[in-house]
């Protein structure tokens, strides 16, 4: 049995930014408190904290007057102050919030209103200024938040860990919490490495919070709903030519654009035969001519797909299965490269971008019985760019 001197005043479950900041505040407010921080990983900040976008949010999103708005604003200042004190690098780079089309302008206006009421300065950015600031971003309007920044939250965690540990706070890494038993005067925390007693438990377990809540018996119906974040890597603007594309990258592109359509056709050949179905492949203008933005691997894969279309049409003609393809040119989508308008002005006789629905209508035609005597064909959809 533990003596009273062996009992912790406070056990914090989770050594992410929330758990460490909690330990930091409570230790500062009462340095004599006996505190232990428990985490199942080998070090601090190895879950969400070490894998987020690293943004120091200014406090522009939340409802004016709400606790979230107040704490976000205060937290941004506290984060920067802590970094200044402990010489942790951060950057006040600002943030652009972009309306990609006219339907998002009302939401942008509402965001500007919220920011103003939250005491934050935001600057409207026109389409032209947006193109000048960030040529890789396409949008009709934007807001610039100069107070937003970026920081390595993992490094903040490492600094907090070192400071807390040197001040006498205990850390139990590599120990998953498996049980919580609340007694009259303390709580027994069972981990994969043993058990300890504490007067108070604070759960800062992130995505494991619902499991900790269930162990404690506090809330059996509490469930974390996970959302996966996705990030885009900004590509090198130089064209990936045949001689400078890594072989594995070259092969990966072939698998996505050429091998995958063939695999689908092979797997679905029997139902296609029974239904006398139609296959419509999506090639590209890059299969017909060297394109300034499409890399060599992409062009080769699309050229191969054009050839595959003919081969499949020849093989399957007597089964009633038709195989055709479309070859779009410069289509107005969210992934247009800077400089596309120059291509349109110089190479496209119709002098405009194509619309997605114009591609869809041709695909629908090739898939329908209206094209029942068409197979082995490729239809350019490029405003005459191929001429």
| Pairwise CA distance, residues 99 & 111, whole Å | 11
CATH topology of domain 1-53+152-234: FAD/NAD(P)-binding domain (3.50.50)
Which entry of 61, 153, 298, 373 is annotated as an active-site residue?
298
Q: In whole angstroms, give the CA distance from residue 141 to residue 106.
A: 11
Distances (CA, A) of 358 to 284, 329, 355, 364, 380: 15, 11, 5, 10, 11
Distance of alpha carbon 86 from alpha carbon 82, whole angstroms? 6
Sketch the domain layout of the chain as residue ranges. Answer: 1-53+152-234, 55-70+86-151, 247-381
Q: At what angle do helices 67-85 and 153-166 cross, to 10 degrees?
A: 70
Q: Which CATH number fits domain 247-381: 1.20.120.610, 3.30.465.10, 3.40.50.720, 3.40.50.300?
A: 3.40.50.720
Displacement of CA 276 from its chain's centroid (Å): 41
- 55-70+86-151 against 247-381: fold identical: no
Q: What span, in angstroms and rounded, lies between the C-alpha atoms of 110 and 140?
A: 16
CB of 295 within 8 A of CB of 239? yes
pLDDT on residue 1? 40
* Upper half-sphere CA count for residue 132 (Cβ side, 13 Å): 5
Res 28: pLDDT: 95
Strand partners, 172: 38
Burial of 34 (0-12, 13-18, 19+ CB in 10 A): middle
Query: Residue 81 in 3-state DSSP?
Result: helix
Q: How far apart are CA 116 and CA 106, in angstroms?
A: 16
298 included as an active-site residue: yes
Alpha carbon distance 117, 360 (integer Å): 44
User: In terms of C-beta density within 10 A (0-12 exposed, 13-18 middle, 19 or more buried), how is residue 383 classed?
Assistant: buried
Please determine, looking at this structure, whether the domain spanning 55-70+86-151 carries the CATH number 3.30.9.10: yes
Q: What is the pTM of this model?
A: 0.62
Q: pLDDT tens track of the chain, all 387 residues?
A: 444 457 999 999 999 999 999 999 999 999 999 999 999 999 999 998 988 889 999 999 999 999 999 999 999 999 999 999 999 999 999 999 999 999 999 999 999 999 999 999 999 999 999 988 887 788 899 999 999 999 999 999 999 999 999 999 999 999 999 999 999 999 999 999 999 999 999 999 999 999 999 998 876 778 888 777 777 666 555 667 888 888 988 999 999 999 999 999 999 999 999 999 999 999 999 999 888 888 899 999 999 999 999 999 999 999 999 999 999 999 988 777 777 888 888 899 999 999 999 999 999 999 999 999 999 999 999 999 888
Q: State the pLDDT at residue 51.
A: 87
CB 328 within 8 A of CB 282: yes
Is-contact 130 100, C-beta < 8 A? no
Per DSSP, the residues of 220-275 read TT-----------PPPPSS---TTTS-HHHHHHHHIIIIIHHHHHHHHTHHHHHHH
Any residues with CB less than 8 A from the CB of 195 and at least 6 apart, and which?
179, 188, 189
* Dist CA 85 CA 101 (whole Å): 42
């Amino acid at each position: 049995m533990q003596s009273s001197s062996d009992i912790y005043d406070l056990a914090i479950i989770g050594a992410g930014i929330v758990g460490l900041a909690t330990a930091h505040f409570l230790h500062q407010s009462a340095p004599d408190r006996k505190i232990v921080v428990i985490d199942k990983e080998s070090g601090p900040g190895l879950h969400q904290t070490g894998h987020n976008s690293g943004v120091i949010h200014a406090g522009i999103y939340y409802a004016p007057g709400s606790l979230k708005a107040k704490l976000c604003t205060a937290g941004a200042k506290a984060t920067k102050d802590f970094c200044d004190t402990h010489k942790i690098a951060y950057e006040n780079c600002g943030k652009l919030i972009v309306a990609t089309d006219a339907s998002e302008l009302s939401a942008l206006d509402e965001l500007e209103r919220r920011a103003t009421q939250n005491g934050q300065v935001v600057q409207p950015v026109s389409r032209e200024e947006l193109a000048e600031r960030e040529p890789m971003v396409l949008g009709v309007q934007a807001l610039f938040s100069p107070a937003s920044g970026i920081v390595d939250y993992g490094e903040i965690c490492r600094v907090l860990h070192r400071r807390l540990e040197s001040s006498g706070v205990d850390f139990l890494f590599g120990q998953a919490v498996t049980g919580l038993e609340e007694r009259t005067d303390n709580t027994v925390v069972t981990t994969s490495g043993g058990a300890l007693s504490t007067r108070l438990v604070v759960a800062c377990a992130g995505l494991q919070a619902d499991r900790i809540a269930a162990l404690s018996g506090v809330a059996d119906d509490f469930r974390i709903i996970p959302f996966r974040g996705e990030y885009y890597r900004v590509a090198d603007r130089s064209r990936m030519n045949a001689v400078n594309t890594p072989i594995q990258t070259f092969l990966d592109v072939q698998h996505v654009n050429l091998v995958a359509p063939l695999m689908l056709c092979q797997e679905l050949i029997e139902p296609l035969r029974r239904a006398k179905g139609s296959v419509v492949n999506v090639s590209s203008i890059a299969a017909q001519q060297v394109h300034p933005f499409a890399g060599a691997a992409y062009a080769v894969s699309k050229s191969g797909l054009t050839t595959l279309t003919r081969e499949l049409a020849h093989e399957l003609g007597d089964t009633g299965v038709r195989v055709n393809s479309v070859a779009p040119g410069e289509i107005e989508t969210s992934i247009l490269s800077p400089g596309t308008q120059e291509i349109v002005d110089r190479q496209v006789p119709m002098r405009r971008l194509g619309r997605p629905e114009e591609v869809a209508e041709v695909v629908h035609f090739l898939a329908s019985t209206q094209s029942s005597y068409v197979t082995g064909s490729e239809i350019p959809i490029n405003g005459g760019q191929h001429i």
